[in-house]
Structure 1
Amino acid sequence: MSDLTVWAVIIVLGIGTFLIRWSFLGALGQRELPGWVLRLLRYTPVTVLPALVAPLVMWPAANGGEPEPARLAAAAATVAVGVLSRNVILAITAGAVTLFGLPYILG
């Protein structure tokens, strides 16, 4: 690719990214959003985080896409502690301890 093509792609993508973000912040920033939109936006982090983590648990690139018991146990521990305690920090800690402790215990 030529330098002109690379810079054209960078500039077009930058403008596109700016317009996508501006459409929410600039155009809607001064307006009150309807209640149903605010209710739906509360669930965004709850849906995005599992979508980011699930492929890393089920098909980790570190071992050729094969699920491994330590990752599955860590995911289960994180979900269980999160549901029972409703504490994010405690759930993350339980998952991390399981992920790093289980291989150490099993040898």
Structure 2
Amino acid sequence: MTDLHLWIAILALAGVTVLTRGVFLLPRREPRLPGWLASGLRHAPLAALMAVVVPEVLRGSASAAVAPGWHDPRWLAVAVSVAWFCWRRGVTGPVVVGTVTLLLLRGLGMAG
């Protein structure tokens, strides 16, 4: 591959990236989404978060294999997050509280 081919490939990839990501900036007014799509997109961030958090919690750790359950700081962080969600009914709060709980428990020397 010559330098010319390399630069053509780089410029083509940059053009495709700008075109596919910038197409939403072109309309003069906001496009109307069907109700079912708007409803589904409202739940997308929470679904993505669950896809990352749930496998990590259920996977366990080496110390959880010896003493399963509440000895794993992930389960305590989940319990605190669920309690916060039941109390305040938000999405951001449980994420922050669960993360802080997990970091504090690990900082205190709890394995996990």
TM-score range, shorter chain: 0.5 to 0.7
Structure possessing the higher relative contact order (Cα contacts under 8 Å, 6 or more residues apart): 2
Of the two, which has the highest radius of gyration? 2
Query: Is the Cα–Cα contact under 8 Å of residues 73 and 110 in structure 2 kept in the other structure?
Result: no
Classify the secondary structure of the residue corresponding to 2:19. Answer: helix
Q: Counterpart of 2:73?
A: 70
Q: 2: distance between equivalents of 1:75 and 1:5?
A: 52
Unpaired segments of 5 or more residues in structure 1?
60-65
Q: Counterpart of 1:63?
A: none
Instruction: Write out the 4+ residue segments of structure 1 that deviate beyond 6 Å after TM superposition.
Output: none
Q: How far off is 1:94 after superposition?
A: 2.5
Q: In structure 1, give the amino acid aligned to 2:46.
A: V
User: Which residue, 88, 93, 101 being the options, matches 1:85?
Assistant: 88
User: Which residue, 81, 97, 110 being the options, matches 1:94?
Assistant: 97
Question: Does the C-alpha gap of structure 1 residues 46 and 30 become closer, same or farther in structure 2, counting only changes over 3 Å?
Answer: same
Classify the secondary structure of the residue corresponding to 1:75. Answer: helix
Q: Aligned pairs, how many?
A: 100
Q: Counterpart of 1:38?
A: 38
Question: Does the C-alpha gap of structure 1 residues 38 and 88 become closer, same or farther in structure 2, counting only changes over 3 Å?
Answer: closer
TM, length-normalised to structure 1: 0.57
Q: 1: distance between equivalents of 2:2 and 2:73?
A: 46
TM, length-normalised to structure 2: 0.55
Q: 2: distance between equivalents of 1:78 and 1:54?
A: 13
Aligned-pair identity in percent equals: 34
